[in-house]
Chain A
Amino acid sequence: MNTLLVTPSRCIGCLNCELACASRDWSEHFPAPSKIGVAFFRDGGQVPITCFQCDSAPCLAVCKTGALTRNAQSGVVEMKPENCIGCRMCVMSCPFGNVSYSPSLRRAVKCDQCGGQPRCAAACPSRAIEFVPDEQTVRDRRQSFAEGLKNALKELV
């Protein structure tokens, strides 16, 4: 199984992920309705952020029409557009603001990892967004944490 892995330190703020995401539902390259968003900070740095596919997902719990369902295989919370009645309960419930409502589509939109081939990861030029096997994400994170520790120790000694 693969995970959508975000490494903020690698993000160069090109917004290709937003464009790639938005162009899936809209034929125009217009980033506003994108399901992934890059947050910019005044003190520098930027963080791409999208749905975390929570294990106990509040959006899934409040959806009354079966529009949001969990894919048993991938664990991704997917959206069935034809079932959505636009009540925005999922938008209200998401603790991270990762579900939004599209006035033009008249329904909620959320990341479904493009059904296993996320366009944002494919469009990212700097590997800030990757779609990698679970085991690798853990290994990579452990490695980067170890490097951080090593640097910190160097400063001490």
Chain B
Amino acid sequence: MLNCQSHLDLVEGLIDGQAVEVARDTTILAAVRLLNRSVPTLCHHEGLPGDGNCRLCLVEINGRMVTSCMYPLRENGFVVETDNEDIRRARAFVLEMLVDRCPSSPRLMALAAEYGVTPEERFKGDDDLCIRCGRCVRACEINGTAAIGFAGRGAERSVTGPFFTAPDDCIGCLACAAVCPTGKIVFSEKHGRRSIWGREFEMVRCCECGRPYATPGQLSRPEFAANEICAQCRRRLMAADMKRSFTEY
């Protein structure tokens, strides 16, 4: 086929009055961001599937309020609004709940200030940084580990290993900590030991320099078996090879 465009299955509609054409099944959030318009998000991560947990990305499509990170654009003639009185009110309410749960998160407080929300004491004595966005859970899942997950319902919902124990399957890759938007997930790494989620890992030491560089779980994949050397030393050895091959001629 000559025209590559014709392969694409497109849908068209309006976003804040601007005509757009996007591939079918693009989420509203992705379409809105294509236009460089902003929608606040907390649980959304570009590398992870949408989950609609934080409810901050609310927008209106054809007059109906939906979470934009989950809603695929499938039909022509959609009319999306990303900012109006109703939407701001809905987002402010979500934010009220979120900042009451964790008033010590700077990122949340900044968002709350933007929407004119001040924290009240709703959940007494409960200053929990975790907002149950589930980024960590999704990151663990997509990585093929699925060591942590949600347990409980409502106010008791929490992220934990199975049956509130330290997760046996955890490999200590720290992806959960890297994607956490509030900094709730903490880990420590010293004297060749890494701890996270109540687990402690004796780290593998590099055969070249002796520095601890990864957990046994991280290296358990067959394709990494040859890498008993840390990344820095691998690079140095490669450089040494290059030097040798260049000086031979």
Contact = CB atoms under 8 A, between A and B. Distances in A.
Nearest to A87: B175
A99 B218 CA distance: 15
Given A65-B47, A92-B214, A94-B231, A85 B142 contact: yes
B69 to A, nearest CB: 13
A58 B243 CA distance: 24
A37 interface: yes
B219 A92 contact: yes
Contacts of A58: 223
Nearest to B171: A87
Interface stretch (A15-23, A41-49, A117-125): A41-49
A129 interface: no
B234 to A, nearest CB: 3
Interface in B196-249: 214, 218-219, 221, 223-224, 226-227, 229-236, 238-240, 242-243, 246-247, 249
Interface residues of B, number: 38
A31 interface: no
Interface of A: 6-9, 37, 39, 41, 45, 47, 49, 58, 61-62, 64-67, 80, 82-89, 91-100, 106-107, 144-145, 148-149
27 contacts: A6-B242, A9-B247, A39-B235, A41-B240, A45-B247, A47-B243, A64-B143, A82-B45, A82-B47, A85-B47, A85-B143, A87-B178, A88-B174, A92-B218, A92-B224, A94-B234, A95-B227, A96-B234, A96-B238, A97-B230, A97-B231, A97-B232, A97-B233, A97-B238, A106-B178, A144-B249, A149-B249
5 closest Cβ contacts across the A-B interface?
Answer: A86-B178, A65-B47, A97-B234, A97-B235, A39-B239
